[in-house]
Amino acid sequence: MLRICSPIIPGQTEQGGRSFLTIDPRRKQVTVHDPAASGYITSSNRRAAVAAPKMFAFDGVFSPDDSLSEVCSGSLSEILQSVIGGADGCLFSYGHSKLGKSFTMIGKDHSPQTLGVIPCAISWLFKLISEQKESTGARFSVRVSAVEVSGTQENLKDLLFDVGGGGEGPPSNAVYLREDPICGTQLENQSELRAPTADRAAFYFDAALAATSKNAEEDGRSSHLLFTLHVYQYRIEKANRAGLPGGISRLHLIDLGSTAKSKDPSNASLSLSALGNVIMALLNGQRHLPHR
Ligand SMILES: Nc1ncnc2c1ncn2[C@@H]1O[C@H](COP(=O)(O)OP(=O)(O)OP(=O)(O)O)[C@@H](O)[C@H]1O
């Protein structure tokens, strides 16, 4: 899915009011025109030949006029149904610096118009759970975890360690990666706190945001936020009313920071094309993923 940011963002000006993009939201297509043809570049660096327009198709295209609630419903509806159905889901934002990735994922304040993808996902997940309980009698338990990856060393920080107070959480805030022979690379030791209501999950999300490193941007690399809703399902056996384990599914909501301004060549591992290679490898079921 593609979200096109507003042509005017803080610190930038519109280039003569002309765009080199044509958006067709109905067909979910975007056409990129040669800037020389659209007058986007000046005559001094204009090339002699104008390239043909290139068309790209997506699962969803959101124009600058689309509200955040339209982005939320367009991107979350299917994935939430899948998570309730028992499958894992992941939604992440990625793109160049300061184009509104965090704005899209987190939102701005608590007004419904500027509610981001993560707060919406929390609210809608609990709504779906209560509908599912009504219709199937299944029982659910939701847990929440939040981890930040920051700095050139890619340090992992448990953002819920302080709010967990050591009671429900792990004994230290050290989060680390573990290679699992079946599940692949796993995050280990982060707090997973029980959230019986949407309000509780939203409270943990706010606490996680408050615990993120301030001034985390280092060498042009901003930090990444990994927020996960762990959904445990139990079926209730009518005969003896005992709970049977029905499985666990996770919804990962990730605000990936940008690396656009980095001078560090190792940051190339997070380029859009490198990320695309990893996603293609996952889809193709490759055993070895092309990342360091
Ligand atoms: N659609 C929008 N409407 C209003 N303000 C916006 C919108 N998108 C972004 N902004 C504002 O632009 C600024 C940069 O946005 P944001 O921090 O979300 O960018 P980012 O892509 O996450 O940045 P980074 O690359 O540092 O992670 C913020 O002040 C944000 O509030």
Ligand 1 atom 27: the closest Cα is on which residue?
257
Domain boundaries, the chain: 1-66, 68-168+194-261
What's the CA-to-centroid distance between 9 and ligand 1, angstroms? Answer: 8
- ipTM for the assembly: 0.94
Fold for domain 68-168+194-261? Kinesin (3.40.850)
Q: From the CA of 242, how far away is ligand 1's center (Å)?
A: 49
Rounded Cα distance, 89 and 83, in Å: 6
Closest CA to 57 of 92, 91, 30, 26: 30
d(CA 125, CA 77): 10
Buried b / exposed e across 162-199, counting CB within 10 Å, b at 16+?
ebbeeeebbeebebeeeeeeeeeeebebbbbbebeebe
Give pLDDT, residue 242: 57
Per-residue tokens: 291: 């990342």
Tens of each residue's pLDDT in the chain, 292 residues: 888 876 644 444 444 445 778 888 889 999 988 877 655 555 555 555 677 889 999 999 998 888 899 999 999 999 999 999 999 999 998 888 888 899 999 998 777 788 999 999 999 999 999 999 998 888 999 999 999 988 777 889 999 998 887 555 566 777 888 888 877 778 888 899 999 999 999 999 999 999 988 765 555 567 889 999 999 998 766 655 555 556 899 999 999 887 655 555 555 556 677 777 888 888 888 878 777 6
Contact 100 CB / ligand 1 (< 6 Å): yes
What's the whole-model pTM score? Answer: 0.83
Q: List the one residue out of 92, 144, 82 whose CA is nearest residue 117.
A: 92
Instruction: Please give the number of the atom of ligand 1 that sits closest to the Cα of 10.
Output: 12
